[in-house]
Amino acid sequence: MRLGIVGMLPGDFRTFTKEQMEAIRGLEFTGFGFHFSCDDVFDITTEDCEKYNQFVAGEGLDLVQFALTYGECLFDPDPAVTESVIRRINRGLEIARQINTHSCLIRPGSLNPDGAWTSHRDNHLPESMERLIDTLKPIAQKADAEGVTIIVETHAVSIMDSPETCKAVVDAVGLDSLRIVMDFVNHFQTLRQVYNSTDRLNHIFDIMGPIAPVAHVKDIKVENGLVLHINEEMPGEGELDLAQALRRFDGFYPDGYGLIEHLPMEKIPAANTNVRRIAAENGIDIH
């Protein structure tokens, strides 16, 4: 497998510098990802993309994940909302093709106005799932036409809350242009799953492995409290059988990318070291 990073670059590829790329290469990452606001997609020109391609051509790094950010929910009951976000995502897919990204990441959103990764009881109604699929189909069709792979980010608190649900969504859309992020930490739902992480990881990979070509490499921890608090942790410092996660991903995608993410800059070197150490100890080739 290959190793990349999200979090060492700003959100606008027009502002990338050689010094930033040198810092990424200095940690021996071979790929990167970044987040780009859908509010800005119509400001990007063909010339901007050509200039970026000229810049990155000599850097020896892969653009693994071009993530589009937006506040809307893809299954909002108001058609005007979904039509607007589809239009902006579709423009983002055109940019994704022009800058030669491996994948374009999108998120399903939530009916909770507090944000995409907050829960709401209506997220799990059958009609919400129907609306999500209705929104994803034209997006996947556009991606297919552009030759771009979409990867949908998922989470236990979201409408796409389990490996089974994720696979059902992909099957319902029915196009290879729509895939899922292998964000395995996001699919731990109970305390016992965390403390038996090998079994849970195997279940996640058995179902989602064939449809999840990009991984997010994180660890998991349980925090004290009178209700269940399952949170992310820096790779190598939590409860997760990270060796098994890397092993399973490498088995599906020996040239696929795992991306370290959600860390402040000062913790990225240690996370990188931990992942490489665990991989080496378990015969997993990072190249």
Kindly state the DSSP code that residue 40 receives in the 8-state scheme: G
Longest dimension (CA), the chain: 55
Q: Is residue 272 part of a domain?
A: yes
Q: What confidence tens digit (pLDDT) does each residue in 13-63 have?
A: 999 999 999 999 999 999 999 999 999 999 999 999 999 999 999 999 999
Q: Token pair of 132, please?
A: 């999500």
Average pLDDT of the residues in 259-266:
96
**Residue 41 CB contacts under 8 Å (≥ 6 apart), including other chains:** 68, 88, 91, 92, 95
Q: What confidence tens digit (pLDDT) does each residue in 163-181 have?
A: 999 999 999 999 999 999 9
- Provide, rounded to the nearest whole percent, the portion of the chain with pLDDT above 90: 98
Q: Is residue 286 part of a domain?
A: no
Q: Is residue 62 part of a domain?
A: yes
Q: Is residue 80 part of a domain?
A: yes
Average pLDDT of the residues in 95-117:
97
Q: Which domain holds residue 92?
A: 2-281
pLDDT for 189: 94
Q: Is residue 99 part of a domain?
A: yes
pLDDT for 225: 87
Average pLDDT of the residues in 136-145:
98
Q: If pLDDT is split at 50, 70 and 90, which confidence band does 102 have?
A: very high
Burial track 65-75 (b if 16+ CB lie within 10 A, e otherwise): bbbbbbebbbb
- Provide, rounded to the nearest whole percent, the portion of the chain with pLDDT above 70: 100
Q: What confidence tens digit (pLDDT) does each residue in 191-242 have?
A: 999 999 999 999 999 999 999 999 999 999 999 988 889 999 999 999 999 9
Q: Is residue 287 part of a domain?
A: no
Of 260, 205, 232, whose CA–CA distance to 64 is shortest?
A: 260
Sequential DSSP letters for 9-37: S-S-GGG--HHHHHHHHHTT--EEEEEEE
pTM of the model: 0.95
Report the chain's mean pLDDT, rounded to a whole number: 97
**Total structural domains in the chain?**
1
pLDDT for 227: 87
Angle at 34 between CA 33 and CA 36, to 5 degrees: 140
pLDDT for 226: 86
Average pLDDT of the residues in 108-127:
95
Average pLDDT of the residues in 132-140:
98
CATH at 99: 3.20.20.150
- Residue 65 β-bridge partners: 33, 103
pLDDT for 232: 95
